[in-house]
Amino acid sequence: MKCAIYRRVSTDEQAEKGFSLENQLLRLQAFAESQGWEVIADYMDDGYSGKNMNRPQIKRMLHDLKLNKFDIVLVYRLDRFTRSVKDLNDLLEVFKENEVDFKSATESIDTSTATGRMILNMMVSTAQWERETISERVKDVVRKKKDLGLISTGYPPYGYTMNDGVISQVPHEVEIVKFIFEKAKVYGFQKISKLLNEQGLVTRNGTKWLISTASRIAHNPFYSGEMRYKRDGETSTVPINVEGYEPVITKEEHKEVLKAIKKRNRNQTRAKSNEVYPFSGIVLCPECGHPMKGTRVSSRGYYYKYYRCDRASDHFCNGKLIRCEKLDKAFAEYIHDAFQIDRIEIKEETNTKDIQREIKRCKSKIERLKDLYVDGDISKKKYKNDVGELNEKIYDLEQKLLSAENKISHDHIRENLKRLSEFWGLIDDNTKMESIRGVFDTITVEIQGNDVVITDHTLL
């Protein structure tokens, strides 16, 4: 009789329980030999839970089974094969249709009789009930921890570390967090991330600081004593209740920071008159290189629109005001004559699909770890550590994805610039603003006599 061996192991930890893949193979080969069966196939799923059929080798086995490659499937134990009653019955039905027998090397299972099939179903039903009960308890514990302000994953945000349920600050990370909160009162997150990177500072995983990374920290209430989480689609906060926890800033300070961020975002391209300044925050002061913002100047009962250095109000820069009309004219000339579209240097695009696939893989690994923990195949400590590392990796990947999605493709930039060149003098300020902000990061200008000349640019 031709025999196919199927073996499965969840993790290396199971080797300690005698379920290692090598141990299963030796015992199954010996059993098959004692029965006079010829082992012609060996299917091995390494690191997969028996919760469902989402296992590559069991799928290959079923494919070969339908091709009549073997007469019997031999497993070490029933729970190595499946932990689902539905899957078991579906598998046995497939076996029956293709006249293939099923045998466990360590359990007396006879699927040829009604009593045997009933006992088999009872065994799997018990295993499934146990894992579902444990799964419900795990979910309840996680939900309860969140309600009580406890950290459910054991992996706190940047600036903190956790050991044996006690949280503590990481001094050098906390200094960076404080720096972000302090600068967020004055600067945008593009400027903050740039300052951090210029100092050679990196994230917990050694990557460069992104705009979204700094923004996420500044908006996170964890640093002022509250934990944010979602339940039933709604976001709420609860006071943090973890031993050793100390906030980085007070709630009042955090409110001030968020207020400053909101105000800066609201006024990014509009002055008090509610007029639009398309180049606000993008054109750089020819005197000091800082961003210029839109403003109005009154003269003899008339208002005139200008761009003024962002540092002028604090008397850090004595750069001249630039009339909006002159900058607008200079930009039209720049994109029409001097700007060589075919020579644009576009940053290499990040493949967002690859990042999305990697995020999906990480989330799948977390689900598998959850299954393994519920099945009792891994310890609580390993579950927490591995899930924590994967969550941190997902966080970094999501930041890369956000950064990548904010970049404009080569063709899109090319098309935008062609439109700007052709229709600049015909479009309104709102459209100009959206067009510029969809392509340019900064624009550098010079004052030459009474004229404004654009000399350089950087793209998003």
The set of catalytic residues is 10
**Which pair of structure tokens corresponds to residue 452?**
């404004």
Given strand 440-448, what is the order of strands in its sheet? 283-284, 440-448, 451-459
Of 171, 174, 149, 153, residue with least CA distance to 162: 153
**Ramachandran region of residue 227, left (φ > 0), alpha (ψ -120 to 50) or beta?**
beta
**Which pair of structure tokens corresponds to residue 281?**
């925050």
Q: How far apart are CA 307 and CA 392, in angstroms?
A: 42
Q: How far apart are CA 283 and CA 454, in angstroms?
A: 9
**Contact assessment for residue 46 and residue 9, using Cβ atoms and an 8 Å cutoff:** yes
Q: How far apart are CA 61 and CA 25, in angstroms?
A: 16
**Contact assessment for residue 221 and residue 236, using Cβ atoms and an 8 Å cutoff:** no
Start-to-end CA distance of the chain, whole Å, equals 67
The residues, any chain, with a CB within 8 Å of residue 374's CB and separated by 6 or more, are 131, 134, 135, 138
Q: State phi, psi for 7 to the nearest 5 degrees.
A: -135, 150
The residues, any chain, with a CB within 8 Å of residue 268's CB and separated by 6 or more, are 280, 281
Q: In the structure, how many helices (H) and strands (E) does the chain have?
A: 14, 14
Given strand 292-299, what is the order of strands in its sheet? 292-299, 302-309, 322-323
Q: How far apart are CA 291 and CA 442, in angstroms?
A: 8
DSSP labels, 211-241: HHHHHHHHH-GGGGTEEEEEETTEEEEEE--
**Contact assessment for residue 7 and residue 39, using Cβ atoms and an 8 Å cutoff:** no
- Residue 269 CB neighbour total at 10 angstroms: 22
DSSP labels, 85-130: HHHHHHHHHHHHHTT-EEEESSS---TTSHHHHHHHHHHHHHHHHH
Burial-class residue 159 by CB neighbours within 10 Å (0-12, 13-18, 19+).
buried
